[in-house]
Amino acid sequence: MRCSRCWSVTWPTCKCSTVWCVTATARRWSGCFAVPTRLARSSCACWSNSAPARAVRIVCFSGVAILSNVVFELKPGGAVRGRFRVPGDKSVSHRAVMLGALAEGVTEVQGFLEGEDALATLATFRALGVRIDGPEQGRLRIHGVGLHGLRAPAEPLYLGNSGTTMRLLSGLLAGQSFDCTLTGDHSLSVRPMRRVTEPLARMGARIDTTDAGTAPLRIHGGTPLKGIDYALPVASAQVKSALLLAGLYAEGETRVTEPAPTRDHTERMLAGMGYAVRRDGASVSLRGGGKLRAASIDVPADISSAAFFLVAASIAEGSDLTLEHVGMNPTRTGVVDILKLMGADIDVLNPREVGGEPVADLRVRHAPLRGVQIPEELVPLAIDEFPVLFVAAACAQGETLLTGAEELRVKESDRIAVMAEGLRTLGADAEPTPDGMRIRGGGLGGGTVHSHSDHRIAMSFAVASLRAQAPIRIEDCANVNTSFPGFVALAREAGLNIEQGPA
């Protein structure tokens, strides 16, 4: 069996033989944890001699608990310096696998994010009959099967914690000839799915949810789809993308109108693979019945991951950091715009376009930040970065007010409530509101905060340690690997005093 992180055939004796490696490998094989408790404490050495995990049906819940209980311990202070590249963009990595699988020919991908969410997408398309070579140092070869070449999976598709995978797949699979069930972990299983299943139903899709409108999603194939003209009630790139993917299989035109701009990676990649996509103001449309051509895809560094270091360098005295090859898609750069409004010293260097996506190097140096009222038009452009922006606000002079961000309450956690709770634990003046937060800047102390299994919460509080007056302990951090494998090592290299271990 290969290691799901470094892809070594020597797993579990490879350098990645850690608790994360075990959980990621288990999740690759449809989330089946064949892990005796006594061996979970030693990185589950039994895996090397066992049958492939996907053929095993023994689930050890105590083993799962042990594997998921990871803590970060951080000493206060420090500065961040250096020059490096953060992992590949999660959104682009998901779409590269999905569209590469539906294309005709072999799609070559480099810079693929080997985090748990993107690996869940990769494992899903293997289960749907697509041959995918890799990942090996971020490289994939996807042997596309065309729009109508997917095969029915042998069992329900387990997507881990990946909401992007579930929502986009709901549209893509609605146009197939076979039935399919999508499941996920506890966090994903309580996230709202009606926002995507209801407009898909208007196209003719038949998708069953729980009474609460959550996963598992049971998708009934073989139903003809028809294009619709749909106005999104809330800006959502995931819903927009799900409808466009369903539109590939629909009769007529599918048109989606946004109340505010959202990330447009799906549209860019479709166009890059030869599919006709039309943008008309706030609307994007396509017609069914076309074909996708295989392409070479260079995944840029994820600006959402870069955001942690942009804030870290901004708040820590003596910092001077350059982040290389960062994706600068204009629908994603709200974090840079907001930090600049707060007074951050960020230079955009060597701007260029790679594979249809704008990229640049970002140099950021320490600068005193000031509180601001965040313009609501920037909210959709920074929706994933607000946890760490809340940390920046807590370190700024004056008051910062965020409104129009109710979407934060239905992410991997209620990010408004969880961040407010954690900031107050650290001594910050943070007042949650129904659609945002009011933060009055000042000093940060120390203490124990809980990430609620939310990767962005955990990394945000790690950044807060740079301005803390006492140590910070962050609980339940295993999910950091959904988006940022290697975060602890890179943060330590940059200058954070961080250690990771079991609870």
- Which residues, 6 or more positions from 149, have their beta carbon under 8 angstroms from its beta carbon? 129
Could you identify the residue written with the tokens 């990595």? 93
Structure tokens at 346: 């960020």
User: Is 414 tagged catalytic?
Assistant: no
Please give the Cα distance from 421 to 410 (Å, whole number).
16
Task: Out of 384, 414, 454, 476, pick the active-site residue.
Answer: 384
Please give the Cα distance from 248 to 59 (Å, whole number).
38
Q: Evaluate whether 473 touches 450 at the Cβ level (below 8 Å).
A: no
What pTM does this model have? 0.85
Q: Evaluate whether 108 touches 297 at the Cβ level (below 8 Å).
A: yes
One digit per residue, the tens of pLDDT, for the chain of length 503 reads 333 333 333 333 333 333 333 333 333 333 333 322 222 222 232 333 333 333 332 233 333 333 457 999 999 999 999 999 999 999 999 999 999 999 999 999 999 999 999 999 999 999 999 999 999 999 999 999 999 999 999 999 999 999 999 999 999 999 999 999 999 999 999 999 999 999 999 999 999 999 999 999 999 999 999 999 999 999 999 999 999 999 999 999 999 999 999 999 999 999 999 999 999 999 999 999 999 999 999 999 999 999 999 999 999 999 999 999 999 999 999 999 999 999 999 999 999 999 889 999 999 999 999 999 999 999 999 999 999 999 999 999 999 999 999 999 999 999 999 999 999 999 999 999 999 999 999 989 999 999 999 999 999 999 999 999 999 999 999 999 999 999 999 999 999 999 999 97
Structure tokens at 6: 């470094």
For residues 165, 170, 171, 176, the Cα torsion angle rounded to the nearest 10 degrees is: 110
Span between the terminal Cα atoms of the chain, in Å: 28
Q: Evaluate whether 306 touches 86 at the Cβ level (below 8 Å).
A: yes
- Which residues, 6 or more positions from 393, have their beta carbon under 8 angstroms from its beta carbon? 342, 369, 371, 400, 439, 441
Give me the pLDDT at residue 292, please: 99
Domains and CATH numbers, the chain: 19-67 (no CATH), 71-87+300-502 (3.65.10.10), 90-298 (3.65.10.10)
Please give the Cα distance from 330 to 344 (Å, whole number).
19
Neighbouring C-alpha atoms within 13 Å toward the C-beta of 63:
23
Please give the Cα distance from 342 to 400 (Å, whole number).
9
Could you identify the residue written with the tokens 């039935």? 179
Structure tokens at 384: 């994933």
What value does the mean pLDDT of the chain take?
Answer: 89
| Burial zone of 342 (CB within 10 Å; 0-12 exposed, 13-18 middle, 19+ buried) | buried
Closest CA to 363 of 351, 379, 381, 372: 351
Length of the chain measured in residues:
503
The 3-state secondary structure of 70-105, one letter per residue: EEEEECCCCCCEEEECCCECHHHHHHHHHHHHHCEE
Give me the pLDDT at residue 503, please: 76
Give me the pLDDT at residue 443, please: 87
Please give the Cα distance from 6 to 113 (Å, whole number).
12
Give me the pLDDT at residue 69, please: 78
CA–chain centroid gap for 263, Å, is 13
